[in-house]
Amino acid sequence: MPAKPEATTPLIAVIVADAAATRDPALTLRKSELYADGVRRHGGKPALISVATPPAERDRILGGMDGLLLSGGPDIDPALYHEAVTGAIEIDAARDTLDQLAWHEAERRSVPVFGICRGFEAVNVFSGGSLLQDVPDHAGVPYGAGPAHTHNLEIDGESRFGRALAEGSEEGLATEDEDDDTAELTVNTFHHQAVDHTRLAPGLRAVGWAASHEGRIVEALESTGDRWVVAVQCHPERTDSTPNEFEGVWEAFVRAVRETSAAPEG
């Protein structure tokens, strides 16, 4: 088949929470729109899907998506990584099923994937990894309930993720400590589950780390192959508590989606 025209706006499926099933539907809708805004700012066309989306519409979007964004949400059922519940809360089996369906379709068609918070954890679990079920010192405050808690993120500057961050700043990816040349940024934290090196899935590599009471944990990961798969534990769509460098990650994601969709098939 011929390549798609460069002017084509890539369609990005965004898996989000079902607002009607949450305690504060208006807040849930606002949070979902932040993901859509991140895609739009960089030239993508977001198509939001939740468990309430009619199956025919869901399948149409997933079948035609050029990229996939797995967003934040409740904890993943530990049964999916063959463990009992030892800290996971508010498990949503329907959301797990939807995320898995979207992930497998993205894999089947080799489209780029960007995972955020729960999406970061989902990428690891669906790739064969597991999770620390409770890391309470990273939980922070609920979104909208006050200033975001933050912590330092140590970054592999030579990674796909690190290079994208560098593109998001005129000064490149800077260090925070003049006595240490490791690149760091201050990021928000809204999660209580995590990935560490013992739980990292095959085919993924750690490219961002943070300290915790459970030890050093992975907070950014990416695929080891050529396909663009990047996931972060923080919430870069919440621009009020996110460094500007993360605009480079949004840009890199949409660019990868556009380039992949424009490539000839076969």
What is the arithmetic mean of pLDDT over 170-174? 67
Query: Is 6 part of a structural domain of the chain?
Result: no
Q: Is 62 in contact with 13 (CB distance < 8 Å)?
A: yes
Q: Report pLDDT for 75.
A: 95
The neighbour count for residue 249, using CB atoms within 10 Å, is: 26
Q: Report pLDDT for 140.
A: 78
Question: Using 50, 70 and 90 to split pLDDT, how confident is the model at 265?
Answer: low
The SS3 call for residue 21 is helix
C-alpha 167/C-alpha 220 separation (Å) is 17
Tokens 């597991």 identify what position?
130
What residues make up the domain containing 114? Answer: 11-262
Query: Is 216 part of a structural domain of the chain?
Result: yes
Q: At 88, list the tokens.
A: 């996971």
Q: Report pLDDT for 2.
A: 34
Query: Is 3 part of a structural domain of the chain?
Result: no
Contact partners, residue 256, CB within 8 Å, separation at least 6: 67, 112, 228
Query: Is 162 part of a structural domain of the chain?
Result: yes
Q: What is the CATH number of the domain that holds 51?
A: 3.40.50.880
Q: Report pLDDT for 216.
A: 92
Query: Is 2 part of a structural domain of the chain?
Result: no
Q: Report pLDDT for 144.
A: 75
Total tally of structural domains belonging to the chain:
1
pLDDT in tens, 55-71: 999 999 999 999 999 99
What is the arithmetic mean of pLDDT over 231-260? 96
Helix H or strand E encompassing 68: strand 67-70
The SS3 call for residue 116 is strand
Nearest partner of 206 among 193, 216, 220, judged by Cα: 220
pLDDT in tens, 119-143: 999 999 999 999 999 988 787 777 8
Q: Is 249 in contact with 230 (CB distance < 8 Å)?
A: yes
What is the arithmetic mean of pLDDT over 70-86? 96
Angle separating helix axes 25-41 and 247-262, nearest 10 degrees? 70
The neighbour count for residue 61, using CB atoms within 10 Å, is: 20
- Please give the C-alpha separations between residue 220 and each of 9, 120, 210, in angstroms, as whole numbers: 27, 8, 9
* CB-count burial class (<10 Å; 0-12, 13-18, 19+) for 139: middle
C-alpha 178/C-alpha 225 separation (Å) is 33
Angle separating helix axes 55-64 and 93-109, nearest 10 degrees? 30
Query: Is 124 part of a structural domain of the chain?
Result: yes
